[in-house]
Amino acid sequence: MRRSLALMSAACLVAVTACDTSSTDSDDPPETVEEITEQGLAGLALLHRGYEGGDPETDQVLVFHDPVTGRPVHELGLPEGAVDPMASDLPVHSQFSADWQFFAYATTEPSAITIAALTDPEDAEGSAVAEATDEEGEAPAMITYQPVESVTASSGEVVSRPVIHGDRLWYVSDNEQDVQPPQVMSVPLDAPGGTPNQEGTLPLGEGRRPSDWALTPAGELHIRNSVPTQQLPGADGRTLVVRQTNGSVVNASLTTAEGQWQTFDDGLVWGGGTAVLVHDPAGAQQMAGAYLVAVDGQTHTATRIMENSGGPVLQYAPAPERDAVLLQTEEAWFRVDLEEGEVTGTEEAFPRFHDASMDGYPLVVRWAEEPPEDEAGASPSS
């Protein structure tokens, strides 16, 4: 029998507000959701498909890595097949709640959006990743996300692209029986079975492909094909072309002598007027490094970063305070320190990780840090 998401939310809130967010020096891993919440989930969160050489369909694990050493700190199992094991450029950063208590994913046959909640091992019946083997050959249980609620599609409807922001679940609804464009909908996270809000329409482009969309860090809907472009000149004579929603740059491109640099497909929105651009992945040769661009009124600045890293940037994760950013190449993760948007240092952090997915590396979710001690007891916000 499914548990009530409203009750789960209340339990999670109690766990969060009771914690002191201090780290533990114990070598014993947390064994319950309450313990892991009290200890704090911090680090570079990566979604591994085929963790430690496992099956990419069944062994899907959210792993928090130490942002300095890369060492795994926490491991949380996902429902079997929750993430396409072979797809790349998936927006997994948007599928987890800010406090990590909930995870949303789309399923087919029948079409539905499923909401899963962090679950103690003894309650995780039938989990494919609920157990892991320790050095003595025993099998300590793993804390996992388990389904608790769902949004089920109506006849002829397909629901997809779940996004959790604040206390709401966003998704795309497309009715295959009519010619109307898909709609972006939202429902309360603790009551997903109610009547959804219609948030926006996704215009159809070439080949009837729906427009890309995203939420800004403030939770505002950005529909790419409904937002006009702006051309912003820079001091070097190059022009940055951007699409913004209320001051947040979501889409951007910059043309240089090396070709076009652009924002990541389905990537995290940095927030404010800043974005990370990588060399066009469709180009014959991808250039090393990336550009950090910032809008300044009607102009822009563009700073080349990691030009000598030996390869193109594949993923990135900004620090919560935006005073640093971690970037992954084919070989390693690098840390770039920032001060007021200016680069103050760049260094290699740790080798990149491997998994059994098509691209061979786990997907970045976000770089999470523990809140300051004076914020202990405050409910996390997005």
Task: Tell whether the torsion through CA atoms of 119, 124, 129 and 134 is positive or negative.
Answer: positive
Q: How far apart are CA 243 and CA 254, in angstroms?
A: 12
pLDDT at res. 55: 94
pLDDT at res. 245: 96
pLDDT at res. 122: 78
Q: How far apart are CA 38 and CA 297, in angstroms?
A: 43
pLDDT tens for each residue of the chain, 382 residues long: 334 444 344 333 333 333 323 333 445 667 799 998 888 899 999 999 999 989 999 999 999 999 999 999 999 999 999 999 999 889 999 999 999 999 999 999 899 999 999 999 877 665 555 444 344 445 457 899 999 999 999 999 999 999 999 999 999 999 978 888 999 999 999 999 999 999 999 999 888 899 999 999 999 999 999 999 999 999 888 999 999 999 999 999 999 988 899 999 888 999 989 999 999 876 667 899 999 999 999 999 999 999 998 889 999 999 999 999 999 999 999 999 999 888 999 999 999 999 999 999 999 999 998 754 544 333 333 3
pTM over 0.85: yes
pLDDT at res. 382: 35
pLDDT at res. 19: 30
Distances (CA, A) of 261 to 40, 230, 322, 325: 37, 16, 21, 18
Which position has the token pair 């820079």?
A: 234
